[in-house]
Amino acid sequence: MQVNYVSPAAAAAAVRAAFSPVELLDPAAVTALQNERLARQYRYLLERSAFYRRKFAAAGLGPDAVRTLDDLAIVPFTTKAELRDSLRAAPPFGEHLAAPLAEVIQMQASSGTTGSPSYVALTQRDAVSWQEASARSLFACGIRAGDLVLHGFSMSKGFVGGLPIFQALQYMGAVDIPIGADGGIERLLAAAFDLRPSAIVGTPNFLLHLAEAAQAQLGRDVREIGVRRLVVGGEPGGGIAALRTRIEQAWGAKLCELMGGTDLGVIYWAECDAQDGMHMTAPDSIVAELIDPDTGLTRPFTDGATGELVYTAIEREASPVFRFRSGDHVLVTGTRCSCGRRQPKIRCFGRTDDMLIVRGINLFPSAVQDVIEGLRPAVSGQVRVIADFEGHSTQANLKLLVERAEHEPAGLTLGALRQEIEARIRGALAVKADVLLAPHGSIEKPGAAKVKLVLRAMPAIDGVWGGC
Residue ranges of domains in the chain? 1-352, 356-455
Give the containing element (helix H, strand E) for 291. strand 286-291
Lowest-confidence region among 101-105, 110-114, 135-139, 390-394: 110-114
- Alpha-carbon 294 to chain mean position: 22
Closest by CA to 278, choosing from 298, 305, 259, is 259
pLDDT digits (tens, 9 = 90+) for 43-54: 999 999 999 999
Closest by CA to 114, choosing from 80, 91, 156, is 80
Residue 60: phi and psi, rounded to 5, are 75, 30
pTM: 0.86
The pLDDT score that the predictor gives to residue 64 is: 95
Q: What are the residues whose beta carbons fall under 8 Å from the beta carbon of 207, sequence distance 6 or more?
A: 152, 200, 230, 232, 247, 251
pLDDT digits (tens, 9 = 90+) for 403-451: 999 888 888 899 999 999 999 999 988 889 999 999 999 998 776 566 7
pLDDT digits (tens, 9 = 90+) for 331-368: 999 999 999 999 999 999 888 778 888 887 878 888 89
The pLDDT score that the predictor gives to residue 1 is: 44
Query: Taking the CA atoms of the chain, what radius of gyration do you get in angstroms?
Result: 23
* Distance between CA atoms of residues 162 and 159, nearest Å: 6
Q: Say whether domain 356-455 belongs to CATH 1.20.1740.10.
A: no
pLDDT at 395 over 90: no
CATH superfamily, with its number, for domain 1-352: ANL, N-terminal domain (3.40.50.12780)
How many other CB atoms sit within 10 Å of the CB of residue 79?
14
- Which segments within 77-145 are labelled E, that is strand? 104-109, 119-123
The pLDDT score that the predictor gives to residue 112 is: 57
The pLDDT score that the predictor gives to residue 14 is: 67
- For residue 257, list its beta bridge partners: 232
- For residue 184, list its beta bridge partners: none
- For residue 78, list its beta bridge partners: 324
Q: What are the residues whose beta carbons fall under 8 Å from the beta carbon of 427, sequence distance 6 or more?
A: none
* Distance between CA atoms of residues 154 and 184, nearest Å: 10
The pLDDT score that the predictor gives to residue 362 is: 79
Closest by CA to 262, choosing from 400, 368, 116, is 116
